[in-house]
Amino acid sequence: MTVSISMTINGSSVSADVDARTLLVDFLRVNQRLTGTHVGCDTSQCGACVIHVNGKSVKSCTILAAQANGADVTTIEGVANGSELHPMQEAFRENHGLQCGFCTPGMIMSALDLINVNADPSEQEVREWLEGNLCRCTGYHNIVKSIQAGAKAMREA
Amino acid sequence: MSGTGIGASVRRKEDLRFVRGAGKYTDDMNLQGQAYAYILRSPHAHAAIKSIDASSAASSDGVVAVYTSEDMAAVGGIPCGWQVHGKDGSPMHEPKHPALAEGKVRHVGDPVAVVIAESREQARDAAEMIDVDYDVLEAVLDMNQAITDDSPNVHDDVGTNVCYDWALGDPDVVNEAFSNAAHVAKLDLINNRLIPNAIEPRCAIGDFDQASGQYTLHTTSQNPHVIRLLMGAFVLGIPEHKLRVNAPDVGGGFGSKIYHYAEEAIVTWSAAQLNRPVKWTADRSESFISDAHGRDHVTSVELALDENGKFLALRESTLANMGAYLSTFAPCIPTYLHATLLAGQYSTPLVYCEIKAVFTNTVPVDAYRGAGRPEATYLLERIVQVAADQMGLDPTEIRRRNFIQPDQFPYQTPVALVYDTGDYESSLNKALESSDYAGFAARKEASKAAGKLRGIGVSSYIEACGIAPSNVVGSLGARAGLYEAATIRVNPTGSISVLTGSHSHGQGHETTFAQVVSEKLGVDIDSVEIVHGDTDKIPFGMGTYGSRSIAVGGTAIVNALDKIIAKGKKIAAHLLEASESDIEFENGSFVVPGTDKAKAFGEIALTAYVPHQYPLEELEPGLEETAFYDPKNFTFPAGTYICEVEVDPETGVVDIASFHATDDFGTVINPMIVEGQVHGGLVQGIGQALLESAAYDENGQLLSGSYMDYTMPRASDVPSFSVDTTVTVCGHNPLGVKGCGEAGAIGSPPAVINAILNALAEVGVTNIDMPATPHRVWQAIRNAQAS
Amino acid sequence: MYSFDYKSPSSLSEAVAMLQSSDDGLLLAGGHTLLPTMKQRLASASDLIDLGGVSELRGISVSGDAVTVGAMTTHAEVAASSDVRGAISALADLAGGIGDPQVRNAGTIGGSIANSDPSADYPAALVGLCATVNTNSRSIAAEDFFTGMFETALAENEIITSVSFHIPKCAAYCKFPNPASRYAIVGVMFADCSHGMRVAVTGAGPSVFRVSEMESALAQSCAASSIADISISADGLNSDIHASAEYRAHLVTVMAKRAVEKACASC
């Protein structure tokens, strides 16, 4: 079955006809060529695919594109202000919060949602928030540091 | 150049794309007209294939082709890159590893057929229509059982499940030392099977250009040239000049992306059959049963000591699981990368080690971060702790009494290696200080008051990186050289392209290598571009594994830079009308010392390509140099890790209260990146010690086959770390570097387990295996209380 | 995934009609169990009826002695609700400990309890807090709702509309998570309410259950020490690579004790 969907992605309106079983992540990666959102597992745990739907972080591998019909979607590609990195992106770079970069978009999208609900998270709160984001490279040490630094920069911005 | 040169924590160049989601990983690529492959895999651990009926699959919607082993009959088996000889001199058994199962499946996940269709879902739909008639056989799983005469064989044509029976050392001399020892400590342990789990699943895209006969494989690899060699020469019969292997941004490897996998050959071969690109991307569930696993040793170890706690001899006997087939480097992991590390940081004069490698009906096992060395470190640092406890010695004291002393280097170990430099006591002292070892007793009391058991554990590890030299490893069975290549291409306007055979999949080479070039040539780091991963761009390479990139790949770069500078001096001498021997290269300029004669590097570069004033009779134009570097020896990073844990005796939960790492990596190019490598390694090691385990049931089904059951370390499972370094410079490479990628994963598991056993000593627990899950800790406490 | 027809009703009655008219329709709530299962081709449906657009199924209200949570209310909404936290902080805590933040942003109470996963958290809340499950056709007491592993009292074409929780005097939930999946190996909801003492256990058995011996002891004296020596039998409890039945039985006592301690501290 084909369904017609439209949504706003990173501020642009998008419409398409897709197979009903199309996952939002595949719609973004294949149809929209927004390959910054990654797929690292098939059990909704790794968080490499985290994006924002209507301002909340969700796993785009566990939502149908059809479910996002009419939604406002933000992916990692929509975070920076043109050539200027978002303070959270800058904080990840400044604090070496990434190595291979594969989990990074999901980490940053998850971190931004955390800051929406908690502008000044403690180390423990950051670690608990990252329950749904796996990283195999960094040991999390510098990711936690990055998120706290990013939060600080956002508070001061 | 101190801001971006050697020793500076330069922010990573590659991050500018990664933080934007602009990295280009293999699965991000989609080629015009590509079809999708789905691999039908065995649901059984061990079964004969009686028949395969793919007729309805072939006519299913969107299906382009269905292939089984019959179709790929002309394709060679997946080769093994290392041949080990047993102690009787016989070569290891090396059964065929077909790309698609021939007559028999040997592990759950063994590829049986491939469906190629217009979409992934259509390929998967069709795969379900393939009717495979299996005759299920008894699965070979337990290694102790597998080596008995009554066991069924994984490979009928081999007639045994013992791949090789190998030994190092003189058993008679070692046995003699044991019989005369004042004390003997004994330990049986298991080094648990792990699943690497790079967060990017493997992906391979094959492409074929009929007009030129050119093949291309885009793949998630740590070493594209090695894949080109293995797949081109041994599997598909494609000469190098007709095969391009491209490994773009790769989302983590940890060893699991070293190997040549069947899927790479299948998509490349299929692309030529169909004359269109074919893409395969693993689901995570598929990764669990098709990526090579790591570790999986069952070991007995004994340490003989004199009355003063001085080590006299070490004896090890291990069964090492190979899985169902020999993965690319599997045979060398428990032998040459393991037994050679058994001296550790100690002056143990005698070592005997025997290793039986065993075939089982499980996923093949190969190198995973550390590869043989974590297994050696684990058994050694565990048995040292057991001996210390039994002899009433402080864990630091027993180590001090046995450390190789700084004035003993170079030090010939009894296990073939010659350590070049080190200062083990300095690392230990620094770790003791940063961990406030002296204050432990007070912290233990505080924990006790809160109903918790606190323990402290020490691990002093050594590793050998940059496996080499090629002639030596060749004599030990390696079927490849272990050098590295680099080309420095100075472009006419002074920008520099560095073509390196090392491959970055998280290590930050684009920054670290650029720092080396920036420092050596005195040029702006932003004018240096590191190019890697594409066999069409890079002259040659052996890739990245075994913490070799800076020690071997970095040295190749330095050697090529030296050639650039040497040629630059010739050009400068001509321009400055000076003798070549009078020219020196300082701070980015060729100068005649004591005069005002100088030519900036950029001027020399331009002159090389616009050779109007140039010694054309004696010197070729252009400024591009290549170096192949084959190291004289391994490098030997070492350090001491101290872990403190708090155990909840009621639930068995272990909390890492603190973790302190002091490492000696020789010269550090980028401290920020090096610390990051240690952090990541520590969590993989802590994961092995506390969380991770590949568990098979009695039928060979993988019980921990997804993140629902395989416990990946999460942020809340680990603390922040205290990490620092001591430095003894490596003497046999120009940068003085040793490598840092695996240390964390090698040194940490015994530190964690020693800490847990230290905590549990007061409730009578004397041994525990990894992973020390809450259940296992609770059970150990309960068993100790019952006895 | 196998293919299916996607439907997005905007009202409950429309959803019921779609379900009735489908051959083998399934309701899509938060989708965090259903979609992964369908991705692995372990489940299929002729029609997937997405309840995301049915606004009457969302929302939280407090009236009298009950907190009512709409079936399509997400775990994150329950966790963040000041109404829930004010009335039953244990319920907010429980919802805030399900899965991870992204799961909580999508997963719903209706979806969770309809699935009746033996290791899900919500069943302990429903049974421990004397809840009632409201559907399009009736109300079902929580203890009658969960009938077994992945089984409920829901009839064909019946849709959960909301869950009403009885507000206790005090309550607390303590969970021992599965180290890998973070589902409950054992989760215990303790509540002291007008119906008496409740100790409801999820994760340990094939379905949520109460521990009457602990409830009686707590009725005598509401303190952790009252139940510290009560151990439950391991017979019939779940056993897997993460926890044996014996370990689960042990954890029931530990988690119950900790829940009582926590509840008493806030009472």
Chain segment A62-87, per-residue pLDDT in tens: 999 999 999 999 999 999 999 999 99
pLDDT at B323: 98
Residue B542 covered by a domain: yes
Q: Does B368 touch chain A (CB under 8 A)?
A: no
Q: What is the pLDDT of residues B487-532, one digit of tens each?
A: 999 999 999 999 999 999 999 999 999 999 999 999 999 999 999 9
| CATH code, B586 | 3.30.365.10
Nearest CA-CA distance, residue B379 and chain C, Å? 25
Q: How confident is the model at residue B87 (pLDDT cuts 50, 70, 90)?
A: very high
Q: What is the pLDDT of residues A3-53, one digit of tens each?
A: 999 999 999 999 999 999 999 999 999 999 999 999 999 999 999 999 999
> Given CB atoms, is C170 within the 8 Å cutoff of chain A?
no
Query: Which residue among A34, A43, A99 places its CB closest to the CB of B680?
Result: A99
Among B459, B458, B460, B181, smallest CA distance to B308 is for B181
Q: Are residues B336 and B425 in the same domain?
A: yes
Are residue B519 and residue B556 in the same domain, yes or no? yes
- Same fold: A2-78 with A87-156: no
Please provide the distance, in angstroms rounded to a whole number, between the alpha carbons at the two ends of chain B: 66
Least Cα separation, residue A143 to chain B (angstroms): 9
Q: Nearest residue of B to residue A31 by CA position?
A: B30
Partners of A127 on chain B (C-beta within 8 Å) are 715-716
Mean pLDDT on B101-122:
97
The model's confidence at residue B721, banded by pLDDT at 50, 70 and 90, is very high
Query: B398 with B539, same domain?
Result: no
Q: How far is CA B397 from the centre of its chain?
A: 32
Contacts of C48 in chain A (CB under 8 A): 20, 64
- Considering the segment(s) A2-78 as one domain, its CATH architecture is Roll (3.10)
| B199 shares contact with chain C (CB less than 8 Å) | no
The per-residue b/e assignment along B641-671, b for 16 or more CB within 10 angstroms, e otherwise, is: bbbbbbbbbbbbbbbbbbbbbbbbbbbbbbb
- What's the full length of chain A, in residues? 157
Distances (CA, A) of B426 to B431, B460, C83: 9, 11, 59
Contact B22 A42 (CB under 8 A): no
Is the residue at C108 inside a domain? no
> How many domains is chain C partitioned into structurally?
2
pLDDT at B2 over 70: no
Cis peptide before B771 (omega within 30 of 0): yes
Q: How close does chain B come to A6, measured CA to CA in Å? A: 23
Distance CA B364, CA B165 (A): 18
Q: Is residue B187 part of a domain?
A: no
The correct answer on CATH 3.40.50.300 for the domain covering A87-156 is no
Q: What percent of chain B has pLDDT over 70?
A: 100
pLDDT for residue B467 is more than 90: no
**How far is C-alpha C251 from the geometric centre of its chain's CA atoms?**
19
B687 and B759 share a domain? yes
Domain containing C188: what range?
Answer: 170-266
Contact A3 C6 (CB under 8 A): yes
Alpha helices per DSSP H over B550-655: 554-576, 601-609
- Cα–Cα dist B12/A98, whole Å: 10
Measured over the CA atoms of residue A78, residue A79, residue A81 and residue A85, the dihedral's sign is: negative
How many interchain CB pairs under 8 A, A with B? 178
A110-119 mean pLDDT:
98
β-pair type (A72-74, A2-9):
parallel
pLDDT tens figures, C119-147: 999 999 999 999 999 999 999 999 999 99
Average pLDDT, chain B: 97
CB–CB contact B695 C241 (8 Å)? yes
Whether residue C220 is contained in a domain is answered as: yes
Q: Do B709 and B776 fall into the same domain? A: yes
Given a cut of 90, is residue C265 above it in pLDDT? no
The pLDDT, as a whole number, for residue C195 is 86
CA B270 to chain centre: 30
> By C-alpha distance, which of B91, B90, B89, B94 is closest to B77?
B94
Which residue of chain B comes nearest to A91, CA vs CA? Answer: B19
pLDDT of C71 above 60: yes
Q: What is the CATH number of the domain that holds C176?
A: 3.30.390.50
**Structural domain spans, chain A:** 2-78, 87-156
Q: Which residue of B has its CA nearest to A135?
A: B199
pLDDT tens-digit profile of B740-767?
Answer: 999 999 999 999 999 999 999 999 999 9
Mean of the pLDDT values across residues B580-590? 95
Give all strands (DSSP E) within B648-687, no chain letters: 654-664
By Cβ distance, the residue of B121, B704, B717 closest to C241 is B704
Query: CA nearest B775 in C: which residue?
Result: C243
Give a yes or no: residue C259 inside a domain.
yes
Has residue B1 got a pLDDT over 60? Answer: no
C83 occurs within a structural domain: no
CATH of the domain at C27: 3.30.43.10
* Interface predicted TM-score of the whole assembly (ipTM), two decimals: 0.98
In a domain? residue C113: no
Give residues 106 to 145 of A whose Cβ lies within 8 Å of C: 110, 113-114, 117, 129, 131-133
What does the alpha-carbon distance between residue A52 and residue A39 come to, in Å, rounded to a whole number?
15
Q: Is residue C262 part of a domain?
A: yes
- Give the model confidence (pLDDT) of C213-250 as tens digits: 999 999 999 999 999 999 999 999 999 999 999 999 99
Asked if A64's CB is within 8 angstroms of C50's CB, the reply is yes
In a shared domain, residues B376 and B413: yes
Chosen from C175, C227, C250, C255 to mutate, greatest number of chain B CBs within 10 A = C250
SS3 label, residue B276: coil
Of B155, B134, B161, B123, give the one whose Cα is nearest residue B42: B134
pLDDT, average across residues B111-120: 98
Q: What is the CATH number of the domain that holds B85?
A: 3.90.1170.50
Average pLDDT over residues C81-93: 97
Give CA separation, B384 vs B270, B310, B342, B379, C155, in Å: 54, 11, 12, 9, 64
Where helices occur in B183-338 by DSSP H, the ranges are 224-229, 262-274, 284-290
Q: In this structure, are B610 and B684 located in the same domain?
A: no
CB atoms within 10 A of CB B157: 8
Structure-block tokens of residue A91 = 């904080």
- Nearest chain A residue (CA) to B716: A127
Residue B25 lies in a domain: no
Q: How far is A155 from chain B (nearest CA, A)?
A: 20
Residue C267 has pLDDT above 80, yes or no: no
The dihedral formed by the CA atoms of B414, B416, B419 and B423, expressed in degrees to the nearest 10: -30
Question: Would an 8 Å CB–CB cutoff place B657 in contact with chain A?
Answer: no
For B627-659, the pLDDT digits (tens) are: 999 999 999 999 999 999 999 999 999 999 999
Chains with 3 or more CB pairs closer than 8 angstroms to A? B, C
Domain of residue B314: give its range.
297-467+633-786
Looking at the structure, tell me whether residues B100 and B247 fall in a common domain: yes
| Position B564 pLDDT exceeds 60 | yes
Chain C contact set for B715 (CB, 8 A): none
Q: Is C3 a member of any domain?
A: yes
Same-domain pairing of B344 and B460: yes
For residue B281, which phi and psi values (nearest 5 degrees)?
-130, 130
What average pLDDT does the segment B76-81 reach?
A: 96
Of B569, B597, B629, which residue is a domain's last?
A: B629
- Minimum-distance CB partner of A64 among C6, C105, C182: C6
Model pLDDT for residues C241-260, shown as the tens digit of each residue: 999 999 999 999 999 999 99
Give the closest-approach CA distance of B714 to chain C in angstroms.
9
Q: Give the pLDDT mean for B250-270.
A: 98
Residue C194 to chain B, least CA–CA distance (Å): 32
Type of residue found at B421:
T
Number of domain units in chain B: 3
- Distance in angstroms (rounded) separating the CA atoms of residues B726 and B430: 8
What pLDDT digit, counting tens, does each position of A89-99 carry?
Answer: 999 999 999 99
Place of tokens 């209380």: B785
Q: Is C77 within the bounds of a domain?
A: no
